[in-house]
Amino acid sequence: MTTDPLLARIAAFIATHDAPAPGERVLAMVSGGPDSLCLLHALVEARVGPVGVVSFDHGLRPEAAAETRDVAAVAASLGVPCTIVHLALDSGPAIQERARTARYAAAREVAAREGWDVIATGHTASDQAETVVMRIARGAGRAGALGMAPRTGDLVRPLLGVGAAETAAWCARAGAAAADDPSNRDPAFTRVRARGLVAGLEDLHPGAGRNIVRFADLLRDEQAVLDAVVVGAWGRCAREGGLVVSALAEEPVAVQRLLVRRLVGAAGIAGDAISAATVDGVIATMAGSPRRDIPGGAAVRAGGLLSVIADVPSAPDESRLPVPGRIRFGDVEVSSRTGPAQVPERWRVAIPPGGAISVRGPRAGDRIALVGGGHARVGRILQSDGVPAPLRARVPVIVVDEVPIWVAGHRIAAGVLAAPGEPAIVLEVVPA
């Protein structure tokens, strides 16, 4: 066990929260900054299970290529395998959100291909404080104020118990040369401005950032109790996909909010759309107007039942995709370019040149060829992958000469990929 006090604290946090659990194979996302370098060393020192590294060159800064090579060198010195992924993103609106989406998608592709059980990120307590402040500012309810959990699905966050200043100090002590990304100081980005707000609160009250994190931790501890309350109340109030208005009215207002939040989420509306204002709007539908629009759908009162209906987005029109070229398809952009084929990823594949390429939504009868013969229905693929029915129409299906070859983010047809290194048409999907 390590004698370094900071790494020992991180190891204790890992053990307490199973983030990761003993024996799990962990793929660490390492940028080369102080947080991720500390993460890598902490995972190796904790000896919980095998560790690997994935590092990304987003194609946005010329220094990034050298930074990923430095990460690979550090990994090699620790006896840890490293995969470098080149994302080749375009600068422009929402670049941080697009880059984050691309990173996570690529990390999951690497994890699936190489057999890693969980993905570790370098989020610290400082990131947690910024996240909570941003969510509260956006009007999030109690669930939003929980911040990030130490473990969520296939993601683990071993550094949530330490601050960014501590990881930077550790790198200085350990002689670990950390990369410096200037975007972390650019006030054009929301998180950078949130960082400034937390710093201002520290000036007002020393320890404010730590107190915000503690607040989120306390709320998360209480969540298990509230979950049990919601389960009981749901049994009393829920019927036929909605909530019985008369039964809901008998519950305390706080329980009404929790039930409505669950109702909205069950309709397929999630994320920032379930704000405190949204929940209160649905509750207001118990009396007065029988219908109220909410972000992502509507609340409806009919026959004594309160229901939430998600918007059913229409499928964008089919569009021809030139090579090279880029088109908008709903909430994403689909691009094509020529170049050598790389190993396929969830949101990027390479196919041999030739044929007319189009992008459209799924259609009845669409099928994708399977390895070993046979076909799978596109609708069944999306259902199996958990895509809510109202959202399936906006999943891009790439078609070559009228034949579906790629359900973007879900399945590529057998036999259509170009071999790595061969001349190819590279297809990529990113948030618009």
Give the model's confidence band at 2: pLDDT under 50 very low, under 70 low, under 90 confident, else very high.
low
- pLDDT tens track for 97-121: 888 888 998 999 899 889 999 999 9
Question: What is the Cα–Cα distance from 361 to 65, expressed in whole angstroms?
Answer: 36
Residue with tokens 């389960």: 231
- pLDDT tens track for 270-279: 766 688 888 9
CA nearest neighbour of 288 among 274, 273, 300: 300
Residue 418 phi, psi (nearest 5): -80, 145
Helix (H) or strand (E) holding 308: strand 305-310
Residue type, 15: A
- pLDDT tens track for 225-234: 888 999 999 9
All structural domains of the chain, each given as residue ranges with its CATH number in brackets, are: 5-204 (3.40.50.620), 225-310 (1.20.59.20), 319-431 (no CATH)
Peptide bond just before 316 cis, omega within 30 deg: no
The encoded tokens of residue 316 equal: 């964008």
- pLDDT tens track for 218-227: 988 888 888 8
Helix (H) or strand (E) holding 222: helix 208-237
Give the model's confidence band at 289: pLDDT under 50 very low, under 70 low, under 90 confident, else very high.
confident
% residues pLDDT > 70 (the chain): 97
CA nearest neighbour of 68 among 86, 51, 50: 86
For residue 111, how far is the Cα from the chain centroid?
Answer: 15
